[in-house]
Structure 1
Amino acid sequence: MMRVLAISGSLRAASTNSALLRAAAAAAPDGVTVTVFTGLDGRGVGSLPLFNPDEDGDPPPPAVKDLRDSLVAADAVVIACPEYAHGVPGALKNALDWVVASSEMVDKPVALMHASPRSTYAREALTEILTVISARLIDDASITIPLMGKTPEDAAATLARAESVAALRNALTAIETAVTASAAR
């Protein structure tokens, strides 16, 4: 069983990127499980605090430990994120900052998924961040499925289309292939 941790960079309740990850979980091929991480918003129990290197001790804050443990348990990671001000949303950047100095992302296969074709700056910024933390970007699994509506119903309708489901399955299969190839080394 391959385990994929899915992280949405959007905190919006009606996020199309979060809808994309939920659809990926539902469309996952046999032998692949996709779990969506929900602790980015910085509010409430289990949410990541703002990154502060002074607080990154042993042990780290509980929510940071949860993120790191989730990354360790995952065979691969999928990140779906919108673009804000030509960059990565702050909550996602905060989560990635918590793993810069640790080893959970080193050589971890990562795919980027976007719900908007206009996320080019965010994709470039994420690629740079992932390079710095030594993650392994899987280009064949990095896709954009345009969910241009502003409501969950719009996203659900788009994701119900056979070509969208096929694209998600193909991306997850590409991740699985990369994980398998990496394990064979």
Structure 2
Amino acid sequence: MVYESASPMGTRRSSNSQNSFFAGHVALVGTSMFFIAQAYADYHPESRYKWAFYTGAGVVTGLTALWRNKAGEHFPSDIALGSVVGVASGLLTPMLHRTKIIRNKKLSILPFTSSGRASRCSITCKLHPSPGSPIPFVIRPTPNPGGDRYLHAMPRNILAISGSIRKTSVNNAILNYIHTIHNIHVFDITTLPYFNPDLTDPENLPQTVKTFLSQIAAADGVILCTPEYVFTIPGILKNAIEWCVASTVFQDKPLAMIVASLSGQKAFESLDLVMTTVGARATEDTKLLLSGAYGKLDKATHALDSHTITLLDQLMNSFLRLLLRR
């Protein structure tokens, strides 16, 4: 602004004008618009409308740049630099959150906030036993809040149930990750027949249902991992749980509950209510809602991003402590 002859002298001499570097308004608009476009493309990779979002982002950013130039607020070079910074920030921020650039899944860099402002960060490097390790169920040492001794080895009989039958689903990727660290068994609920109250008597109970109930009863704890369908849990998972209502297999059973979906809030509330009704025992720390789940999965490698892995590790630590208190 100092060299903009069309602007009033008072404006040109202001400290804000003297400190100007690149066009901040253009950069802010570019960041916002291209972030929205990139996020939409990540959630809807097959959508034919994603290019309309990119085009719209470019148009809005360009118009902002044009109007700022006509207002005499910036030189063209300032506007060009602001546009580049804004567009790059909008596109790269989602990429960093998906861990596309930092590919080390064992490395986690998380901010700590105080009064709404980031004040410091935590850098964590996790050491995972390789798949097939002779140590079947190990948890990384984590101190209890009260300064108790570290938590080490845990019970091994953990039953997992997925509410998704799609092979490439985020929920199955989550259970696959947990399986690489802990010795869990995933029960295939597609083998269960449709729930029929007339068949809940012991003499009429289908054999697959008997197997399902006996595995839940024998398990030290159960992990449920599901998406959200039409603002509730999928019918196939609800069907499996309904076979358990007439029994007490979930009574006081330690439970870890994961809902991974685009939103997932309604399914999370629904599943929490259902599992409370059947008597399962969970804490707030053994329940996890992963919204925007599809963006947390690398489409090429089918691997979860580092932040999601950190959340899953924290949930499993809490779940294993819950098993100890059984």
Same fold (TM over 0.5): yes
Greater relative contact order (Cα < 8 A, sep 6+): 1
Q: 2:294 aligns with which of 148, 155, 167?
A: 148
Matched, 1:26 2:180: yes
Q: Within 1, Cα distance between the matches of 2:161 and 2:208?
A: 14
Q: What runs of 5+ residues in structure 1 fail to find an aligned partner?
A: 42-46
Residue 180 of structure 1: how far off its partner (Å): 0.6
Amino acid at match of 2:257: L
Matches for 1:108-119 after TM superposition, within 5 Å: 108-116=253-261, 118-119=263-264
What SS is found at the alignment partner of 1:2?
coil
Matches for 1:1-185 after TM superposition, within 5 Å: 1-28=155-182, 33-38=183-188, 40-41=189-190, 47-59=191-203, 60-116=205-261, 118-145=263-290, 146-149=292-295, 153=299, 156-157=302-303, 159=304, 161-182=305-326
Greater CA drift, 82-91 or 10-19: 10-19
Map Cα deviations across residues 61-99 of structure 1 (whole Å, 9 max, x no partner).
111011111101211111111111111110000000000
Contact 1:16 1:152 in 2 (8 A): no
Amino acid at match of 2:250: M
Amino acid at match of 1:65: K
Residue 152 of structure 1: how far off its partner (Å): 7.6
Residue 151 of structure 1: how far off its partner (Å): 7.8
What SS is found at the alignment partner of 2:165?
coil
Contact 2:223 2:256 in 1 (8 A): yes
What SS is found at the alignment partner of 2:294?
coil
Residue 131 of structure 1: how far off its partner (Å): 1.4
Identity %: 34
Contact 2:200 2:246 in 1 (8 A): no
Q: Within 2, Cα distance between the matches of 1:65 and 1:152?
A: 38
Amino acid at match of 2:312: L
Q: Within 1, Cα distance between the matches of 2:262 and 2:256?
A: 16
Amino acid at match of 1:118: S
Q: Within 2, Cα distance between the matches of 1:169 and 1:143?
A: 11
Query: For the structure 1 residues 155 and 86, does the alpha-carbon distance in structure 2 shift closer, same or farther, using more than 3 Å as the test?
Result: farther
Q: What runs of 5+ residues in structure 2 fail to find an aligned partner?
A: 1-154
Match of 1:44 in 2: none
Q: Within 2, Cα distance between the matches of 1:152 and 1:2?
A: 29
Q: What's the TM-score, normalizing by structure 2?
A: 0.49
Q: What RMSD in Å do the two structures reach over aligned CA positions?
A: 2.1
Amino acid at match of 2:213: R
Q: What's the TM-score, normalizing by structure 1?
A: 0.83
Q: Within 2, Cα distance between the matches of 1:108 and 1:99?
A: 12
After TM superposition, what 4+ stretches of structure 1 lie above 4 angstroms from structure 2?
149-152
